[in-house]
Amino acid sequence: MESVHSFQERRRATAWLQQGRVGDGITEPTGAEVTEDAASGALEAGKLYRYVAGVDQQARSLDPQEVQQLGDPMATVFFRQGRFPMTVQDLLAGLPQPETTANQQIYLTSEAGQILPGADLPRDPRFAIARAIAGREADLLISTGATGDPATTFLQVAAWDQAAGVFNYYMRRTPVWVWAGNSWLSLTSDSRGHGCFDSHVNGSVVMKELKQPWINWQSQSATIQLAPDDPLRSNPLYQQVVGGQNLELTVRSLVSRWTAARLAAVTADGRVAHPDHLMRHLFTTTTVNLASSATPSAVVTPSSGDLALPAGFWLNTDALLTDELALPVSSALPMAPAAHYVASLTTFGFRLEEKTSGFSQPGDTFFAFVVPEAAYEDYDVVLQMVRKKLITAKFAACALMLDFTNPVFSPERARLMTYVPTVATAVADLEGQIVQAISRAAATLQPDSPERRFTADWALPAADWPKAFAQRIDDYLAHVTKLIGASAAFDDYVRLAESRRRDFKAMRLNEFELTLPTTNIPGDAPRLRMREDGTVEPRP
């Protein structure tokens, strides 16, 4: 097989290269079978191929009946008609003309986008294009390189099939297009975590940096830096770029669209098919978003006052403080002394580093204190389960409060997956079965076990649990607010942030070295967890 560096139609996923990984799907389309066929000319132009990583041993062409079963715009506008656009320009030109400018929105992202032009590293800007074909909601999300030859840079599409209620994932592999799977295949054991589903882990579209300040995206918070003579400036697509704050709204809507279709399908007969597939969104971290302070790191000085760290670092604010749960918390989130943050950059040797290119510069990422937080994908499944009455708000709250100070990567919450049925279960019985199984186990375990603590919370009266949980959160935030004024405590929070970053770096969602800062904290340092008293300790 050819070297991983020899393929042009791929993203330059530098973090994967450092880990010795070779991508095999829509996120980084370099699967051995597909690329070897393409390199040898074995793929025949004018056909749609199938290659689902983890399922298919090699690419094969889809027969006409299989193509007819695909109902998304890529299939109906192009593949069913024997049309195979090889560039993003041809793809966009071949679609029906957008009725309004809102029907086609173009976005720009680059992990090196805030590093001043002239630095010796590839900037790798990428376009994301949201296109509505029928109605106002996007049906296509297109991803492609913003520089280089449009015929050889990567070109990938997530396309919504309204009739089937799924996203279909496609990648161009010259001289053909390849169907890499659909949303349902993200959930099956053979293909989960492989190919496009190492990043689209739950079958939904992905925008890692979903919230303000939309890290790495051109947005109302920051403009991607280009040299005055950068040829990208004359690219017609670049000239139509709008802010990433708009893409946030599109992605949230598309995630919810798939969640609704998924829940409707798995509960259609009054039973929940694969309850464990749904409950892992509540009890585990299936994926994450990346969040940061809204303040650029370079403008923070010791005399800047207080710095607001991302809310999702402290707790899952989306799930616990909004919508159906909306616990009546009265405390404000802690503010960090800017002097402690600035000192930590030296103490922990913060730097931006891309080993692949040899680039290094001291300091934090452009926006300060980037950390993984609980994913909107997980939250949306939990919220819609509550609204569809698959579970109650109290059940969701009891699960989330079990280790609420650690909103991501919690072994304690994950332990409760042991008690979730793995076979189809009546909707009316699901919550009760799980609670009963946890309660039975709790009777034989220590008082501080996750099972005993969940059972104690579940026993709270209906009128009392919201206030009881809110009081615990208020007490926790008060502890942190008091402790964070001391530099030693803030340094512990930096270590905790780095522990969570290392957990993220182990995920295939971690594609680019410049996404996160590098520190002098050893890679084998113990993983850490936050306690309810605001102190940090090694994670069991």
pLDDT single digits (tens) 329-354: 999 999 999 999 999 999 999 999 99
Res 77: pLDDT:
98
**Is the pLDDT at 368 greater than 50, yes or no?**
yes
SS3 of the chain: helix, strand, coil, percent, to 5: 40, 15, 45
Residue 425 has pLDDT above 50, yes or no: yes
536, β-bridge pairs: 530
**pLDDT > 90: percent of the chain:** 89
Cβ(133)–Cβ(73) under 8 Å? yes
Over range 281-298, report the average pLDDT. 98
What pLDDT does 42 receive?
78
pLDDT computed for residue 248 by the predictor: 98
Checking if the pLDDT of 44 tops 80, the result is yes
Can you tell me the mean pLDDT for 492-506? 97
Q: How confident is the model at residue 470 (pLDDT cuts 50, 70, 90)?
A: very high
Distance CA 76, CA 535 (A): 56
* pLDDT (average), residues 247-273: 98
Supply the pTM of this predicted model: 0.94
Q: Which residues pair with 140 in a beta bridge?
A: 131, 159
**Residues 351, 365: contact at Cβ < 8 Å?**
no
Residue 46 backbone zone (phi > 0: left; psi -120 to 50: alpha; other: beta):
left
User: Does the pLDDT value for residue 261 go beyond 50?
Assistant: yes
Residue 158 phi/psi, 5-degree rounding, is: -105, 120
pLDDT at 221 > cutoff 70 = yes
**DSSP 8-state secondary structure symbol assigned to residue 28:** S
Mean pLDDT of 78-97: 97
Please check the confidence at residue 209 and state whether its pLDDT lies above 90: yes
Report the pLDDT value the prediction gives residue 428, as an integer from 0 to 100. 97
CB 118 within 8 A of CB 230: no
**What is the distance between the alpha carbons of residues 19 and 511, in angstroms, rounded to a whole number?**
10
* 456 has pLDDT over 50: yes
**If DSSP codes are grouped into helix, strand and coil, which group holds residue 158?**
strand
Residue 230's beta-bridge partner residues?
none
Kindly state the DSSP code that residue 217 receives in the 8-state scheme.
B
Give helix 450-458 / helix 465-483 axis angle, nearest 10°: 130
Predicted confidence at residue 126, as pLDDT, reads: 97
**Residues sharing a CB contact under 8 Å with residue 528, sequence separation 6 or more, in sequence order:** 492, 495, 496, 499, 536, 537, 538, 539
- Weakest mean pLDDT among 38-42, 46-50, 59-63, 233-237: 38-42
- CB burial of residue 199 (10 Å; 0-12, 13-18, 19+): buried
- Report how far apart, in Å, the C-alpha atoms of 472 and of each of 41, 78, 79, 99 are: 63, 56, 56, 51
Q: How many helices (H) and strands (E) does the chain have?
A: 17, 18
Query: Which is it for the CA torsion 37, 39, 41, 46, positive or negative?
Result: positive
Reported as a pLDDT band with limits 50, 70 and 90, residue 14 is: confident
CA distance 278 to 473: 26
State how far the Cα of 306 lies from the Cα of 303, in Å rounded to an integer: 9
- Distance between CA 142 and CA 436 in Å, rounded? 46
Res. 476: pLDDT tops 80: yes
Place of tokens 């973090």: 15
pLDDT for the residue 19: 66
pLDDT value of position 5: 30
Please tell me the predicted confidence (pLDDT) of residue 9: 63
User: What's the whole-number mean pLDDT along residues 424-447?
Assistant: 98
Q: How far is CA 438 from the centre of its chain?
A: 30
**Mean pLDDT (the chain, rounded):** 93
The predicted structure's pLDDT at residue 120: 87
In eight-state DSSP terms, residue 97 is P
What mean pLDDT comes out for the span 459-475? 98
**What integer pLDDT is reported at residue 4 of this predicted model?**
26
Residue 11 confidence class, pLDDT cut points 50, 70, 90: low
- As a whole number of angstroms, the distance between CA 390 and CA 387 comes to 8
DSSP secondary structure letter of residue 78: I
Taking CA atoms, 461 is separated from 125, 394, 454, 458, 473, in Å, by: 54, 10, 14, 8, 18
Q: For residue 13, is pLDDT > 90? A: no
List the beta bridge partners of residue 226: none
Contact 141, 130 (CB under 8 A): yes
- Tokens coding 345: 């950059």
SS3 for 322-377 is CCCCCCCCCCCCCCEEHHHHHHHHHHCCCEEEECCCCEEEECCCCECCCEEEECHH
Report the percent of the chain where pLDDT is more than 70.
Answer: 93
Cβ density class 157-167: b for 16+ within 10 Å, e for less: bbbbbbebbbb
Q: Which of 181, 177, 125 is nearest to 148 (CA)?
A: 125
DSSP letter for 191, please.
Answer: T
- Residue corresponding to tokens 């990648």: 171
pLDDT of residue 7: 38
